């Protein structure tokens, strides 16, 4: 306790509390001499302004809430890291909330978020349409990350999952693949659904079947036999982790990639680039997505408008499907 306050600094520097306050804000009107004296006194006392007290007046906390759902994939931890970094560059700190996927948690989390008075929200968590009113009520700027609002009331930055899946698919078709199986992600996951739709639409009659998955490496291994039973010449996995799992599951069955069957992933994670997997995959432009998300949020926080952005992923050809 015994927190050092602006009054302590004021006393020490022989000025008033308001002078101290002004010395610590860019546009505060103080003479250079007093400011120097105040900063010196502050240094001696180890004073740091209390941002919470400040925010009570200014209405700004410099905190941004990031809502992420725990996932089995290797993608989100990367996203969190990138976001924290990008926010930091904008002088914001990241307050992290995990929604464990259960829908009822979303309400709870949103209430918590609002209690912390964050300046903005970045969410990669799904919310049901009837939460719309609740979110609107928060009056906190929000940007969806790789999720879209059907009516675009809440702006978003996404990687075009449909088109990415379609691009990957046509590349396979152009390379002569005709029997293509799919390993899907959890059906309640936004990106999983859109990747799946995009693939199926583009595949047409080349689609020999879909097997359900959960985005994990282990599930890729477990589903390999079932996929192989469909006699595919290529297997499209809806994320990288599962693709690696499928490759390994197939190996156990004596089936080699790419000799016997091609395998593709989706995401462009670091693990997918490991030489022993070297996945053909669709790379989501994480860097751009993150910086666009932050600038969109910045715009909203400054009362400006912003539009939803849809970025295109980049096809990466590895040895798992040598297009």
Partner DNA sequence: TTCTCCATTGCATTCGGATGCACTCGGTTC
Partner DNA sequence: GAACCGAGTGCATCCGAATGCAATGGAGAA
Q: Which residues bind DNA (CB under 7 A)?
A: 3, 5-7, 14-19, 21-22, 24-25, 29-34, 47, 49-50, 53-54, 56-58
| Closest C-alpha among 297, 279, 281 to residue 289 | 297
**29 belongs to the binding site for a second copy (CB under 8 A):** no
Distance separating the N- and C-terminal Cα atoms of the chain: 64
Smallest separation, CB 92 to DNA (Å): 16
Q: Which stretch binds a second copy (CB under 8 A): 33-41, 88-96, 144-152, 164-172?
A: 88-96
Q: Which does 221 bind (CB under 5 to 8 A by kind): a second copy, DNA, none?
A: a second copy
Structural contact between residues 261 and 236, judged by C-beta atoms closer than 8 angstroms: no
User: Which distant-in-sequence residues (6+ apart) come within 8 Å of 157 by Cβ?
Assistant: 143, 144, 145, 146, 289, 292, 293, 296, 308, 309, 311
| The two structure tokens encoding residue 21 | 């306050």
Smallest separation, CB 31 to DNA (Å): 4
Q: Which does 25 bind (CB under 5 to 8 A by kind): DNA, a second copy, none?
A: DNA
Other Cβ atoms less than 10 A from the Cβ of 167: the count is 18
Chosen residue from 11, 117, 162, 314 binding a second copy by CB under 8 A: 117
Nearer to a second copy, 192 or 244 (CB): 244
**96 belongs to the binding site for a second copy (CB under 8 A):** yes
Return the residues of window 273-302 that contact a second copy according to CB under 8 A: 274-277
Other Cβ atoms less than 10 A from the Cβ of 71: the count is 20
Pairing of strands 281-283, 142-145: unpaired
Distance CA 312, CA 307 (A): 16
How far, in Å, are 55, 59, 96, 247 from residue 49 at the CA level?
11, 15, 23, 55
**17 belongs to the binding site for a second copy (CB under 8 A):** no
Q: Which does 16 bind (CB under 5 to 8 A by kind): DNA, a second copy, none?
A: DNA
> What number of chain residues touch a second copy (CB under 8 A)?
51
**251 belongs to the binding site for a second copy (CB under 8 A):** yes
Distance CA 213, CA 161 (A): 17
Distance CA 249, CA 228 (A): 10
**78 belongs to the binding site for a second copy (CB under 8 A):** yes
Rounded to 5°, the CA angle 208-279-289 comes to: 100
Nearer to DNA, 31 or 256 (CB): 31
**1 belongs to the binding site for a second copy (CB under 8 A):** yes
**248 belongs to the binding site for a second copy (CB under 8 A):** yes
Q: Which does 173 bind (CB under 5 to 8 A by kind): DNA, a second copy, none?
A: none
User: Which distant-in-sequence residues (6+ apart) come within 8 Å of 289 by Cβ?
Assistant: 145, 146, 157, 158, 159, 311
Nearer to a second copy, 224 or 236 (CB): 224
Applying CB under 8 A, the residues found at the interface with a second copy are: 1-2, 46, 48-53, 55-56, 59, 61, 63, 70, 74, 76-78, 80-81, 84-85, 88, 93-98, 111-112, 114-117, 134, 137, 139, 217, 221, 244, 247-248, 251, 270-271, 274-277
């Amino acid at each position: 306790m015994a927190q050092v306050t602006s009054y302590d600094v004021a006393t020490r520097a022989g000025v008033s509390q308001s002078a101290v306050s002004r010395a610590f804000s860019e546009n505060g009107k103080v003479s250079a001499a007093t400011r120097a004296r105040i900063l010196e006194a502050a240094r001696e006392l180890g004073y740091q302004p209390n941002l919470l007290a400040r925010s009570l007046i200014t209405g700004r906390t410099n905190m941004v809430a990031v809502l992420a759902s725990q996932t089995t994939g290797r993608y989100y931890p990367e996203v969190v890291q990138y976001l924290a970094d990008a926010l930091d560059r904008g002088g914001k700190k990241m307050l992290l909330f995990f929604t464990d996927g259960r829908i009822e948690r979303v309400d709870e989390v949103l209430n918590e978020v609002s209690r912390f008075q964050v300046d903005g929200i970045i969410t990669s968590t799904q919310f049901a349409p009837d939460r719309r009113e609740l979110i609107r009520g928060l009056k906190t700027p929000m940007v969806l990350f790789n999720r879209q609002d059907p009516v675009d009331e809440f702006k978003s930055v996404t990687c075009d999952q449909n088109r990415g899946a379609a691009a990957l698919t046509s590349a396979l078709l152009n390379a002569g693949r005709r029997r293509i199986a799919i390993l899907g992600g959890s059906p309640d996951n936004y990106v999983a659904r859109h990747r799946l739709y995009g693939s199926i639409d583009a595949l047409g009659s080349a689609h020999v079947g879909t097997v359900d998955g959960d985005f994990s490496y282990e599930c890729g291994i477990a589903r390999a036999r079932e996929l192989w039973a469909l006699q595919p010449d290529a297997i499209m996995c809806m994320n990288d982790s599962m693709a690696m799992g499928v490759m390994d599951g197939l190996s156990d069955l004596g089936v080699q990639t790419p000799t016997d069957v091609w395998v593709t992933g989706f995401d462009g994670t670091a693990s997918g680039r490991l030489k022993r997997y070297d996945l053909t995959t669709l790379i989501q432009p994480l860097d751009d997505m993150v910086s666009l998300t932050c600038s969109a949020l910045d715009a909203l926080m400054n009362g400006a408008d912003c539009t939803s952005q849809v970025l295109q992923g980049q096809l990466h050809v590895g040895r798992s499907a040598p297009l």
